[in-house]
């Protein structure tokens, strides 16, 4: 199995949640091909979108100050912390944020 198949297998039949910031980042990528965009739309449609709340915003402020991470990353990390959900990412930069249930996916 290649990395994408492994990830798909891992996520199969799980209830998935995604930060609204992750959704913006995914669709904001300028080099998306039509097929990739369709796949993302299907993935997003099958996921629960977690909007920005006051609690997540407050978490994000603290994360940004404490760990010196980008704004989007601080909101995504705050969303994972606030919801107590595992966070699947290939970005090893999230390793430094304590308290996140991090599932590191590396191809």
Q: Which residues, 6+ apart, have CB-to-CB distance to 40 below 8 Å?
A: 26, 27, 32
The pLDDT of residue 40 is 85
The pLDDT of residue 1 is 45
Token pair 């039949």: residue? 13
The pLDDT of residue 107 is 66
Domain count of the chain? 1
Residue 36 in any domain: the answer is yes
The pLDDT of residue 46 is 86
Name the residue range of residue 33's domain: 15-104
Residue 4 in any domain: the answer is no
Residue 6 in any domain: the answer is no
Residue 79 in any domain: the answer is yes
Question: DSSP characters for 71-104?
Answer: HHHHHHHHHHHHHT--EEES-GGGGGSTT--EEE
| pLDDT in 10s for each residue of the chain, 107 residues | 445 676 667 777 778 899 999 999 988 888 889 998 998 898 888 899 999 999 999 999 999 999 999 999 999 999 999 999 999 998 999 999 999 999 888 76
Residue 52 in any domain: the answer is yes
The pLDDT of residue 3 is 52
Residue 53 in any domain: the answer is yes
Please state whether beta strands 87-89 and 102-104 pair in parallel, antiparallel, or not at all (unpaired): parallel
Residue 58 in any domain: the answer is yes
Residue 5 in any domain: the answer is no
Read off the CATH number of the domain in which 45 is found.
Answer: 3.40.50.1010
């Amino acid at each position: 199995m290649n990395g994408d198949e492994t990830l798909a297998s891992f996520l199969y039949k799980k209830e998935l949640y995604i930060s609204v910031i992750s959704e913006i980042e995914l669709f904001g990528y300028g080099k998306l091909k039509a097929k990739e965009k369709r796949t993302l739309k299907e993935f997003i449609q099958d996921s629960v979108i977690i909007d920005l709340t006051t609690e997540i915003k407050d978490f994000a402020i603290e994360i940004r100050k404490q760990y010196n991470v980008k704004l989007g990353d601080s909101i995504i990390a705050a969303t994972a912390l606030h919801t107590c959900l595992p966070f699947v990412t290939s970005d090893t930069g999230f390793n430094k944020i304590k308290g996140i249930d991090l599932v590191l996916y590396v191809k």
